[in-house]
Amino acid sequence: MSVSAHQAPSREDFAALLEESFSHAEPVEGSVVKGRVVAIEKDVAVIDIGLKTEGRVALKEFVGPGRDQSLEVGDEVEVYLERIENALGEAVISRDKARREESWVKLEKAFEDNEKVTGIIFNQVKGGYTVDLDGAVAFLPRSQVDIRPVRDVTPLMGVPQPFQILKMDRRRGNIVVSRRTVLEETRAEARSELVANLEEGQVVEGVVKNITEYGAFVDLGGIDGLLHVTDMAWRRVNHPTDVVSIGQTVKVKIIKINHETHRISLGIKQLLADPWEGIAGRYPVNARFKGRVTNITDYGAFVELEPGIEGLIHVSEMSWTKKNVHPGKIVSTSQEVEVQILEVDPVKRRISLGLKQTLQNPWDAFAEKFPIGSVVEGEVKNKTEFGLFIGLDGDVDGMVHLSDLDWNRPGEQVIEEFKKGDVVRAVVLDVDVEKERISLGIKQLEGDPFADAGDVKKGAVVTCEVVEVKDSGIEVKIVDTDMTAFIRRAELARDRSEQRPERFAPGEKVDARVVQFDRKARRIQLSIKALEVAEEKEAIAQYGSTDSGASLGDILGAALKRANEKK
């Protein structure tokens, strides 16, 4: 089989051409031929390729990365024959092209068979490095050098090592290789072998390789395992560096092995006795212990009772009175506190603690110090639509309901007279320790006018002082008492023409009859009309009737005269 001088060998025919070139005595252009070194002149070698045809090859083509061929006269070499004769009558031959052609054939086969090839990194270029694959030059991207980024590639250069071909394009002469793929494969094989020799529950030694926020990676001799921060100790570990350091040799227990991902979970605390064993016996409910605050969160504080045993004081169990305060304002980290055991759950490994239970209930203390009927003093903390909140001794609040502000006036009106910050006095009406409520009264500071009504009762005639005149009637105060009442317009006089409120003036004294007196409902009703009707009946009974000829005016005149004489 022959190839013309201007026809390059095809990809499919090159192997046949190579074999043919060796078998024919006559050299063929565009093929690799055997020749013999007949002379060495300075930096070139003169090579006879047969039929008395010679060619010259630069000596530098016989050296390169990983090879240094020392030529001597008589050595047999393979060269690529480009043309049989040039202008000087010599054959144009090349050792580099011969090696490249041989390499491409081998590399293509390796690529098809997914086999590794040996190469040498010999130069750095933009984005990566060049690799000599026994004559063929390949590109090694920077990302494919190693599993992890490598800062200095110098130690890797000039050293024969395996590569994986990622891509080949003979027409363009491009080859892309990877060293990383080979390392990952090798590591995966090594990991598989190592993992196969490990068992869950096994105790092994390793070296701490790296530390993160959530744990430490331990080298078990070619494969890493994760020692999570929660498996370092039974106690709370704020950071892995509190327990281990890089380079430290540690004894660990294999907790779990994932044979698919080759992930290994390790633990140190599993080598120690479990402090939660028999926990209920050591920490009975309602017993009190001292502990150290280890961590504070929005929902409470963790307290270490012993190494490996922590309990939680929920924010609701921290203070009797501070309900909406962050736990950090009640306790501080590392503070020693006395706590009471509220609940122990060995299965969930939880202990509920109480801080306020170690202190006296302030409502109990208040009830002991201020029994019902006691007078207390405090600052108005808040005003609401249903009353006043008063700050009291022991950091507790008491409430004065609207109905307990004044005996006579409506609470909605009286509350406007108080403002936040006012210091007021009040009477303790009730203390409910369980519901944490204290009821106070301000009006109770003064006697109940209905309780000390004296001679005021239904049917009695009382003297009143006009307090206020309104269109609908008059507001009056019963003389010598603290009771007030409202006399409606219709009750101001017997005669309709006289039922005019404007007839009265504030400060004026008037007499009226009590027509209703309900001590329980705290209701009193007065009537001037009823008094006038009663007086008229009494006068008629004593001084005759209109039938006897005397006029009503005469009878009333005589009654008034008699009354004045008595006075």
φ and ψ of 373, to 5 deg = 105, -15
Fold observed for domain 279-351? OB fold (Dihydrolipoamide Acetyltransferase, E2P) (2.40.50)
Q: Is 64 helix (H, G, I), strand (E, B) or coil?
A: strand
Would you say residue 364 has pLDDT above 50? Answer: yes
Percentage of the chain exceeding pLDDT 70: 80
User: What local confidence, expressed as pLDDT, does residue 560 receive?
Assistant: 62
CA distance 308 to 349: 11
Residues 494-503, mean pLDDT to the nearest whole number = 87
User: What local confidence, expressed as pLDDT, does residue 5 receive?
Assistant: 41
User: What local confidence, expressed as pLDDT, does residue 61 receive?
Assistant: 66
Two domains, one topology: 14-102 and 279-351: yes
**Higher confidence at residue 49 or residue 218?**
218
Domain assignments of the chain as residue spans, ordered by start = 14-102, 114-184, 198-271, 279-351, 362-445, 461-547
* Cβ–Cβ < 8 Å for 390, 440: yes
Would you say residue 414 has pLDDT above 60? Answer: yes
CA distance 440 to 437: 10
- Could you read off the pLDDT of 238-267 as tens digits, one per residue? 899 989 999 999 999 999 988 777 788 999
User: What local confidence, expressed as pLDDT, does residue 418 receive?
Assistant: 92
Tokens of 357: 């239970």
Cβ neighbours of residue 540 closer than 8 Å, sequence gap 6 or more: 546, 552, 555
Cβ neighbours of residue 541 closer than 8 Å, sequence gap 6 or more: none
Would you say residue 3 has pLDDT above 70? Answer: no
For residue 326, what pLDDT band results from cuts at 50, 70 and 90? very high
User: What local confidence, expressed as pLDDT, does residue 72 receive?
Assistant: 74
Query: How many residues does the structure list for the chain?
Result: 567
* Cβ–Cβ < 8 Å for 477, 435: no
User: What local confidence, expressed as pLDDT, does residue 389 receive?
Assistant: 94
Per-range mean pLDDT, top range of 100-104, 195-199, 249-253, 406-410? 249-253
User: What local confidence, expressed as pLDDT, does residue 431 receive?
Assistant: 92
- Could you read off the pLDDT of 421-453 as tens digits, one per residue? 999 999 999 999 888 899 999 988 886 666 666
Number of other CB atoms surrounding residue 337 within 10 Å:
19
CA distance 514 to 465: 15
CA distance 161 to 157: 10
CA distance 441 to 395: 19
Which pairing describes strands 44-50 and 31-41: parallel, antiparallel, or unpaired? Answer: antiparallel
* Cβ–Cβ < 8 Å for 128, 142: yes
Lowest mean pLDDT among 14-23, 284-293, 411-420: 14-23
* Cβ–Cβ < 8 Å for 185, 162: no
Fold observed for domain 14-102? OB fold (Dihydrolipoamide Acetyltransferase, E2P) (2.40.50)
Q: Is 288 helix (H, G, I), strand (E, B) or coil?
A: strand
Cβ neighbours of residue 464 closer than 8 Å, sequence gap 6 or more: 476, 477, 478, 479, 485, 487, 509, 510, 511, 512, 526
* Closest-CA residue to 4 (of 84, 114, 77): 84
Would you say residue 280 has pLDDT above 80? Answer: yes
Torsion of CA 319, 325, 329, 333, to 10 degrees: 80
Torsion of CA 446, 448, 449, 455, to 10 degrees: -130
Would you say residue 4 has pLDDT above 50? Answer: no
**Higher confidence at residue 543 or residue 371?**
371
3-state helix, strand, coil in the chain (%, to 5): 25, 40, 35
**Average pLDDT along the chain:** 82
263: β partners: 258
Cβ neighbours of residue 153 closer than 8 Å, sequence gap 6 or more: 121, 124, 129, 145
Lowest mean pLDDT among 23-37, 222-236, 401-415: 23-37
Per-range mean pLDDT, top range of 16-25, 394-403, 555-564? 394-403
Fold observed for domain 198-271? OB fold (Dihydrolipoamide Acetyltransferase, E2P) (2.40.50)
Would you say residue 216 has pLDDT above 70? Answer: yes
HSE, side-chain direction, 13 A CA sphere, residue 99: 16
- Could you read off the pLDDT of 55-82 as tens digits, one per residue? 776 776 666 555 555 667 777 777 666 6
For residue 532, what pLDDT band results from cuts at 50, 70 and 90? confident
**Higher confidence at residue 182 or residue 548?**
182
User: What local confidence, expressed as pLDDT, does residue 473 receive?
Assistant: 92
- Could you read off the pLDDT of 90-105 as tens digits, one per residue? 666 655 566 666 777 7
CA distance 523 to 485: 9
- Could you read off the pLDDT of 444-482 as tens digits, one per residue? 888 666 666 666 788 888 889 998 999 989 998 888 777
CA distance 96 to 109: 20
Residues 539-549, mean pLDDT to the nearest whole number = 61
User: What local confidence, expressed as pLDDT, does residue 23 receive?
Assistant: 46
CA distance 516 to 481: 17
Would you say residue 6 has pLDDT above 60? Answer: no
User: What local confidence, expressed as pLDDT, does residue 103 receive?
Assistant: 72
- Could you read off the pLDDT of 512-527 as tens digits, one per residue? 999 888 777 678 889 9
Would you say residue 401 has pLDDT above 90? Answer: yes
Would you say residue 200 has pLDDT above 80? Answer: yes
Which one-letter amino acid corresponds to residue 91? A
User: What local confidence, expressed as pLDDT, does residue 24 receive?
Assistant: 45
CATH superfamily label, 362-445: Nucleic acid-binding proteins (2.40.50.140)
Torsion of CA 409, 411, 414, 416, to 10 degrees: -150
* Cβ–Cβ < 8 Å for 27, 81: yes
| Region 461-547: CATH code | 2.40.50.140
**Higher confidence at residue 182 or residue 323?**
182
Would you say residue 286 has pLDDT above 90? Answer: yes
HSE, side-chain direction, 13 A CA sphere, residue 173: 6
Would you say residue 10 has pLDDT above 70? Answer: no
CA distance 428 to 371: 7
Strand order in the sheet with 44-50: 53-58, 44-50, 31-41, 76-83, 92-94
User: What local confidence, expressed as pLDDT, does residue 105 receive?
Assistant: 77
User: What local confidence, expressed as pLDDT, does residue 7 receive?
Assistant: 52
Q: Is the pTM of this model over 0.85?
A: no
* Closest-CA residue to 325 (of 312, 335, 316): 316
Q: Is the dihedral of CA 63, 69, 70, 72 positive or negative?
A: negative
Which pairing describes strands 136-141 and 128-133: parallel, antiparallel, or unpaired? Answer: antiparallel
Residues 117-133, mean pLDDT to the nearest whole number = 90
CATH superfamily label, 114-184: Nucleic acid-binding proteins (2.40.50.140)
For residue 22, what pLDDT band results from cuts at 50, 70 and 90? very low
Burial of 483: CB neighbours in 10 Å, binned 0-12, 13-18, 19+:
buried
CA distance 437 to 428: 11
Would you say residue 548 has pLDDT above 80? Answer: no
* Cβ–Cβ < 8 Å for 221, 194: yes
Would you say residue 495 has pLDDT above 80? Answer: yes
User: What local confidence, expressed as pLDDT, does residue 308 receive?
Assistant: 85
Angle, vertex CA 465, rays to CA 460 and CA 466, nearest 5: 120
* Cβ–Cβ < 8 Å for 457, 526: no
